[in-house]
Structure 1
């Protein structure tokens, strides 16, 4: 496993990180015992960065992860969780709720310290509140030694520049972006230099686009428009015809950007995490990747967005 430094935090994180949404059954019904084994396999094979949230599985993911981490030396993993989102459409970014949320997460996780605490999906928030109330509350927790570092997460890229431009240097130390640095959409890459200038560490998630670049395909709730789904399916089919799993290329592409510290993959299956780690360490078939990128060119950087109207990215898609 390779490791990179996460911005100016000083944290050395594995280029492939463990996304905890799967522990809460976000994509399929899961078995907690199998999920716990998956976490152990990830740690044994070199993954040291784990990201979770109380929102995943209505606190189930944090509870399962806490069971998995029992007896594991605290210096073997870098732990990130989130505040602000607690149920479908349930958001509370108030200072009071932030502090209580951290206490609840620590109890479920079996820890008294979280390395990184992040505002979850801020596109659904009033950004004035994030800037004026939520982030100052997280800074107070950081100053009190309850957490190590402060971050923000979201789907639209514009929320990152909006919030970071309005806060003092060092207040926001990391961003977590998903579905914006993958084979079909690499728009996050254009933002990385701007973030680096401000010493903000970058975490990427969902290298397969939440199922777009997989044999199984997208779940029913997926927001991608038909053109994106159809074009990604062509790339999946092409890789299969070559005897390759497109997930391998997807993982390799996402971890290939040197300005992205870690890319999160989510699974509650031990064999799948072994495969993802093997993919990350395997040589890249650059001719195959070039052909897949050519197939995906018609939807390159096409996107989908969400959140409050003022927080949404401009949608780029010829079908809309």
Structure 2
């Protein structure tokens, strides 16, 4: 395992982190004990960075149970504040900050995370959403800073929405945060263009997520791969014909095994090829997948030439979240009708 400093905190973290979204059941049914075992295996293999969230169901609970069984050095625990509101507000039209993170919500979430995880301090607390419309200061940042001043949080940051990596640049340059989390993978390397270099210049840690594109870059997907109804991927992979997605993945098989032992390892090595990425996280609640991801660390890094070829010739930026999170057409029609009715009443 290789380590690097997390921003300006002085803490060393593993460059391959444990993403705990899967522990909340986002990728289908799993055995809780297997989930706990996967966390412990990751730690036993030298990993020390775990990223979870209030929004991830029982994820914090399961991580907390694993930590109780762990007798080694405490890992670096990052979690996120769950956004508020009737509708999912992480994509589409930016909501107001007071709607998404009302006053005191940050503290309430932080206290609950501390309790469920069974720790005295959260190593990194992130907003599970940030839009530049909110500016680079305000009560929301004051509340994060207050928790930091009290010693309940060691570092603060934001997780950027969707594929729009550049929305976090003003906040990064303001000096107000310690970390930023962003989508980054072979198909979407856009964060490499501006955000990651700017984070390097400002000493802000970069947490790369979705490095396997919700598993698609591992090559597991076929035309008939079934998903449970509550599986996150059930709608994620229906945004374009599966044949199109599979064809894009198959183009990457030319790099295996010469440059990586598997497609998953190729994806991991690609994200870690940039020194500005502090840690890259993937859901590893299934131990066999965990071990394959960890094996990427033992392989030779990608050459600059191969990393460049992947970055420039295999990018395929598309938004697979639209049908999952944006309003359906009939709901939008209802919303527009309601708005028109209110406007008409006001006019009268």
Is TM (by shorter chain) over 0.5? yes
SS of alignment partner, residue 70 of structure 1? helix
How far did residue 86 of structure 1 move? 6.6
Q: Does 1:222 align with 2:228?
A: no
Deviations 1:290-316 (A, max 9, x none): 79839x82x52524286999xxxxxxx
Would you say how many aligned residue pairs link Structure 1 and Structure 2? 298
Partner of 2:341: none
Cα distance per residue 1:107-155 (max 9 Å; x no partner): 11111210100000225xx842874121111001101111001000123
Worse-matched range after superposition: 150-159 or 17-26: 150-159
- Unmatched tracts of structure 1, length 5 or more: 310-320
SS in 2 for 1:183: coil
Gaps of 5+ in 2: 90-98, 223-232, 327-348
Map of 2:338 onto structure 1 = none
Q: 1:122 aligns with which of 106, 130, 146?
A: 130
Instruction: Output the CA distance in 2 between the equivalents of 1:228 and 1:6.
Output: 38
- Aligned partner of 2:181 among 169, 173, 176: 176
Residue in structure 1 matched with residue 118 of structure 2 by the alignment: 110
Matched, 1:213 2:217: yes
Q: Distance in 2 between matches of 1:47 and 1:101?
A: 26
Q: Is 2:165 the counterpart of 1:151?
A: no
Describe the shift of the 1:5–1:240 C-alpha distance in structure 2 as closer, same or farther (beyond 3 A).
Answer: closer
Pairwise CA distance, 1:78: 0.4
Question: In the alignment, which of 274, 295, 317 is matched to residue 302 of structure 1?
Answer: 317
Identify which range, 194-203 or 19-28, moves more after superposition. 194-203
Determine the structure 1 residue equivalent to 2:297. 280
State how far apart, in whole Å, the 2-side matches of 1:119 and 1:262 are.
18
- What secondary structure is seen at the aligned counterpart in 2 of 1:140? helix
The equivalent residue for 1:15 is 15
Q: Which residue of 1 aligns with 2:102?
A: 94
What is aligned with 1:187? Answer: 190
Task: Tell me the TM-score normalized by structure 2.
Answer: 0.76
Greater shift in the superposed pair: 208-217 or 69-78: 69-78
For 2:2, the equivalent position in structure 1 comes to 2
Instruction: Indicate the RMSD between aligned Cα atoms, in angstroms.
Output: 3.2
Task: Compute the TM-score of the two structures, normalised by the length of structure 1.
Answer: 0.82
Q: Return 110-119 or 77-86, whichever deviates more.
A: 77-86
Report the secondary structure of 1:85's partner residue.
coil
Please say which structure displays the higher CA radius of gyration: 2
Q: Which moved more, 1:83-92 or 1:252-261?
A: 83-92
